[in-house]
Structure 1
């Protein structure tokens, strides 16, 4: 049976860098961005014939603002993936998008690659908060984008919302969640900012209360939390993210792309110019590479599973690795229970609300 695989195509460009986020963002000329897409296509083609035994079940154009690139080139790279790599029938094909980039030209251009999901970086429904983040869009742009997406029958839309924004209150957080629900998004991600100590930001206790409120409000409105900060209507779970947290192999392409594949952890160069010049040459692109032993693969699996609501299930672990959970790992999980980040279940461990809020239980 083919092993499931996630393909993550990293796009590092943006209109302008936003504040307090973890994305690797660059602002380049159209010529440079087009050259980057050509390079990304070369890297895709370099894997042709190299993925025997694998089936790509999720493709993701990532980076937070993939839609700033030339739409026809985004469509072209997705067509290349579908044509030359083992993409499963019914695979999730997703791209990150910014509200101000969504319109008839962009959706027509990328449509040639047949994406079936987009993650729209809504961030907030409050214009003052969007300004604090340095976003290029306002609340009206978000609504316009949703209308265009519906017009093009792209109904599998996720909305990313951030909490912990300078000046944000519980009321404005409620308003943003409510707006996302009203727009009938299939998926809502409640994501903390990477920076947590800038002036005017809610403190740790306030951020936890915002997370806790989302965990109450969204299920009341038809969304189930299946992973840390991830809420979906039935059938709209974010497959690429869920697969990665389930410990499935990932191939990350593009500058700074990270892979865990066939027992190796590999990181591409983070030098944009070097990447554009050398894409397709695996040896030159690789900045870091390490073979992972069985214990390292087990730990990756356990850490990911503790970001999923159902946590670590011992029968699933035995099925995955062909052995009982080693004592050293059960001790780590029991320690997480002592620290209030996990709780014991009949057949394993699951994260507590505090554990899901922190995102790293082990």
Structure 2
């Protein structure tokens, strides 16, 4: 029996670039958006023969700002995907939405076309902070958008929040968690600010951020608040009510296959990882979207060692962790690895249960350092 497949569809358009964002996006016209929808449909048709016999159980429409695309174009893309791929009846179809670019009409259109999960970029409950990071909406507008989505029939809603923002107060973060739970959300994603060099924040030499100690406190206090409100942590940055973990997110961490559509989109398929250049013009001009197309760059076939490294890194991002025996048996310094794992447990950075080793919230904060040490002993 063939494993299920996921689809990622990138919408590379924004009204305005946020100060922290390094994802590929551009400001564009409706004419270019129409040409883009046509190109995505060509790519869907070009790649679909590779997936014959595979069931699609998750679709994620990300960006950029997917909600800036006219709903009729989004419908064309989804209809093409359903025509060329075999969707499971209960396929999770998620879409990112900016509160500044949705209306009741557009939200109801998304629901009617089969989108069954929305992810709102709320980011902060503080309006001056939202302005500082380049968001186009107020906190009230974000909450109003969530209410509108609920009225259109969405029962599976996520909000993104950020910590470590300039001038951010812990109270703002904790109050947002309470407000979002009261609004009926089933999922919250919590991301720490990363300052990338090719962003406005990365070029701002006057930028002042909270101390590392305060950022750690923000994260740990937020994890505690989320857990108290019934949002169970299942990955470093993701928390959900029972049964509402994002299927597509889990696909990445569990190393399940997916195909990516649009410039900058990545794929994991047939033991290969490959991506599409961050170049809208090149994408629009492409006719050959078959798997052998030169469009797909950085094509890498994974070795057994690559697969092991990925499995360890990705599984330890998850709350369920990794089989401890796998970590020890694959180590070339088994006694040292066993001592290191025991140290992490005794220090409160990790736990053990049912033969599995997993990081605690405190360990997730320093997961890069922990993983680097483990990989030195295994690779």
| Structure 1 gap ranges (5+) | 319-323
The equivalent of 1:327 in structure 2 is 331
Q: Which moved more, 1:340-349 or 1:282-291?
A: 340-349
What corresponds to 1:312 in structure 2? 322
Residue 229 of structure 1 contacts residue 356 of structure 1 at CA under 8 Å; is this kept in 2? no
Out of 295, 298, 320, the position equivalent to 1:285 is 295
Matched, 1:34 2:5: no
Q: Secondary structure at the match of 1:9?
A: strand
Q: Which residue of 2 aligns with 1:321?
A: none
Q: Give aligned pairs, total.
A: 356
Query: Which piece of structure 1 moves more, 290-299 or 269-278?
Result: 290-299
Match of 1:303 in 2: 313
How high is the TM-score relative to the length of structure 2? 0.87
Match in the other structure for 1:348: 356
The alpha-carbon distance between structure 1 residues 334 and 30, as it changes in their structure 2 partners (threshold 3 A), is farther
The CA distance in 2 between the partners of 1:191 and 1:278, in whole Å, is 35
Q: CA deviation at 1:343?
A: 4.3
Instruction: Provide the residue aligned with 1:175 in structure 2.
Output: 175
Aligned to 1:203: 211
Kindly indicate whether the alpha-carbon contact (under 8 Å) linking 2:37 and 2:76 is maintained by their aligned counterparts in 1: no
Give matches, 1:159-170, under 5 Å.
159-170=159-170
* Alpha-carbon distance between aligned partners in 2 of 1:107 and 1:306, rounded to the nearest angstrom: 36
SS in structure 2 at match of 1:278: coil
Show the counterpart of 2:242.
234
Within 5 A, what are the aligned runs for 1:57-206?
A: 57-195=57-195, 199-206=207-214
Note if contact 2:66-2:97 (Cα within 8 Å) is conserved in structure 1: yes
Q: CA deviation at 1:75?
A: 1.7
Give, in whole Å, the separation in 2 of the partners of 1:255 and 1:100.
24
Q: Identify unmatched segments of 5+ residues in structure 2.
A: 197-201, 372-379
Farther off after superposition, 337-346 or 187-196: 337-346
Q: Classify 1:337/1:77 alpha carbon distance in 2 versus 1 (closer, same or farther; 3 Å).
A: farther
Cα 1:280/1:143, change in 2 over 3 Å: farther
- Contact between 2:111 and 2:153, CA under 8 Å: does it hold in 1? no
Matched, 1:253 2:261: yes
Q: After superposition, where does 1:2-41 map in structure 2 within 5 Å?
A: 2-41=2-41
